[in-house]
Structures are given as structure tokens and as C-alpha cells.
């Protein structure tokens, strides 16, 4: 799985560089997010601009991570979600759980 990490100030941006995010990639995402948590980084933006599909396992990692980070006073924001991925977020009502942004920059700005 290709996840590219970029640090912008006190925010970590995890860019998901795959078209289909499934159970195979969910474990890799968890490892990447855990690296941030170990460093006490609790402001995370997930860039979904290249991801057209995510399954429930991948989404589950995002939900569990959000719960963990929220208990620490942090947040995970989703940015640039493809329309197909947005459908899944709508169907599962995760669009009510996660804050969705059109761009990564908008998501980062909302932390401030």
C-alpha cells in the first residue's frame, strides 16, 4: 500500500495513493496512524483524492482511530474524497462522524 506522509506544522497528512482501499491495506493504514499516535500527534488529515473505493475494514480502521484520537483531544479529517468514496460515507452515515473537506488545505486550516 502506498501511503505518503507529509507533516504540515502540527498536522500529519496521510495521502492514500491507491484506487481501492480494502482489508489488505487496512493493516498498513493502522500502522501509519499508530506511528502518529506514538509521537502524540493527534491532528490528522486523510487525503482520499486518489482513492475511489474503500471497504468496511478500511473504514473501520479510520473509525477506531478516530475514537482513540478523540479521547486524546485530537481529530481525523477526511479530505478530497472521490465521489464513489463519498457514497460509502453517506450510506454508512460516516459523513456524520468524520468532517469532510474538499481539499487538504481546507482540512488543515480547520485545525487552527
Domain containing 38 equals 3-111
Q: pTM of the full predicted structure?
A: 0.93
The pLDDT tens digits of the residues spanning 11-40 come to 999 999 999 999 988 999 999 999 999 999
Q: Indicate which CATH number applies to the domain containing 28.
A: 3.30.750.24
Residue 97 CA: distances (Å) to CA of 6, 33, 83:
24, 18, 18
pLDDT in tens, 65-108: 999 999 999 999 999 998 888 888 999 999 999 999 999 999 99
What domain count does the chain have? Answer: 1
pLDDT single digits (tens) 98-111: 999 999 999 999 99
How far apart CA 59 and CA 68 sit, in angstroms, is 14
Amino acid at each position: 500500500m502506498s501511503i505518503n506522509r507529509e507533516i504540515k506544522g502540527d498536522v500529519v497528512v496521510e495521502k492514500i495513493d491507491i484506487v481501492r482501499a480494502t482489508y489488505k491495506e487496512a493493516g498498513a493504514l493502522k500502522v501509519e496512524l499508530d506511528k502518529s499516535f506514538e509521537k502524540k500527534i493527534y491532528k490528522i488529515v486523510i487525503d482520499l483524492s486518489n482513492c475511489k473505493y474503500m471497504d468496511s475494514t478500511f473504514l473501520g480502521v479510520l473509525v477506531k482511530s478516530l475514537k482513540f484520537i478523540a479521547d486524546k483531544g485530537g481529530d481525523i479529517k477526511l479530505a478530497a474524497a472521490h465521489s464513489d468514496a463519498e457514497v460509502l460515507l453517506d450510506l454508512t452515515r460516516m459523513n456524520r462522524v468524520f468532517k469532510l473537506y474538499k481539499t487538504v488545505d481546507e482540512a488543515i486550516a480547520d485545525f487552527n
